[in-house]
Amino acid sequence: KAGVTQTPRYLIKTRGQQVTLSCSPISGHRSVSWYQQTPGQGLQFLFEYFSETQRNKGNFPGRFSGRQFSNSRSEMNVSTLELGDSALYLCASSLDTARTGELFFGEGSRLTVL
Amino acid sequence: DQQVKQNSPSLSVQEGRISILNCDYTNSMFDYFLWYKKYPAEGPTFLISISSIKDKNEDGRFTVFLNKSAKHLSLHIVPSQPGDSAVYFCAASALGGGGADGLTFGKGTHLIIQP
């Protein structure tokens, strides 16, 4: 069974630009959630999508957005990038809600904002 | 306001001994707790979980203990092996409380197993 796939793995952007990250969940998983990992803050919940609907949202500004497609693949977008957005962005999939626990994480997309 | 706290950024343990990783939480709505393990350049992987109706859950060398009155949980690894060297994240969820924040993670503890 293929795992969670995230693309791109690494990217460098400059302040003010926007970025789109992609996540393909494990086949059959309908929930996709996104987390931001930084050295100072650990893993912070961004949002969760289930059947193309945003089900939960963390405490991030509106510059962070996402969507889920009918095949459960998900994208997240960050607009007007700031230096503080430099982080590892992790996508996780699960069969049902992300709150019931066993999330399967991808390897992450490492974003550097210059 | 950090709702899940792992107060030890790192922990060094000798191979074969017991590793004890601690986690405290403040949100009384949390009723489901998990531990994840993360190697460098990889995503976190699920290790073990515990529901608030239990105080202990065991899986092989890994045991998680939950003390609800103290809002504290711990992960015991016995015996510790070199492959256990990784960052361990404690996470919590409010399944029954209608919480809408996904999993809330601690900042992690870097466990180093010394040969």
In chain B, where are the structural domains located?
Answer: 4-114
How much is the average pLDDT of B3-7? Answer: 93
CB nearest A99 (choices: B36, B43, B95): B95
Distance of alpha carbon B99 from alpha carbon A106, whole angstroms = 24
Q: What is the DSSP letter of A100?
A: G
* Chain A partners within 8 Å of B45 (Cβ): 105
- The predicted structure's pLDDT at residue B49: 92
- The predicted structure's pLDDT at residue A100: 61
Query: What share of chain A in percent tops pLDDT 90?
Result: 74
Closest CA to A99 of B103, B113, B10: B103
Burial zone of A23 (CB within 10 Å; 0-12 exposed, 13-18 middle, 19+ buried): buried
- The predicted structure's pLDDT at residue A40: 76
Chain B positions contacting chain A at CB under 8 Å are 32, 34, 36, 41-46, 49, 89, 91, 93-95, 99-108
* Chain A partners within 8 Å of B99 (Cβ): 99
- The predicted structure's pLDDT at residue A99: 56
CB nearest A42 (choices: B32, B95, B105): B105
- The predicted structure's pLDDT at residue A72: 93
B16-41, pLDDT tens digit by residue? 999 999 999 999 989 899 999 999 88
Instruction: Work out the minimum CA distance from B70 to partner chain A, whole angstroms.
Output: 22
- Position A19, amino acid: V
- The predicted structure's pLDDT at residue A55: 86
Lowest mean pLDDT segment, chosen from A88-102, B73-87, B90-104: B90-104
- The predicted structure's pLDDT at residue A94: 87
Which CATH superfamily groups domain B4-114?
Immunoglobulins (2.60.40.10)
Return the beta strands (E) in chain B as ranges: 4-5, 10-14, 19-25, 32-38, 45-51, 56-59, 62-67, 72-77, 86-93, 104-105, 109-114
Query: What average pLDDT is seen over chain B?
Result: 92
How much is the average pLDDT of B70-95? Answer: 95
* Residue pointed to by tokens 């709702």: B3
Phi, psi of A23 (to 5 degrees): -140, 125
Find all residues with CB under 8 Å of A68, minimum gap 6, and list them: A32, A49, A50, A51, A52, A53, A54, A74
- Are the Cβ atoms of A107 and B102 closer than 8 angstroms? no
CB pairs under 8 A between A and B: 68
* Chain B partners within 8 Å of A4 (Cβ): 43
Strands B19-25 and A87-94: unpaired
pLDDT mean values, one per 10 residues, chain A (114 residues): 89 97 94 90 89 89 96 96 96 76 89 97
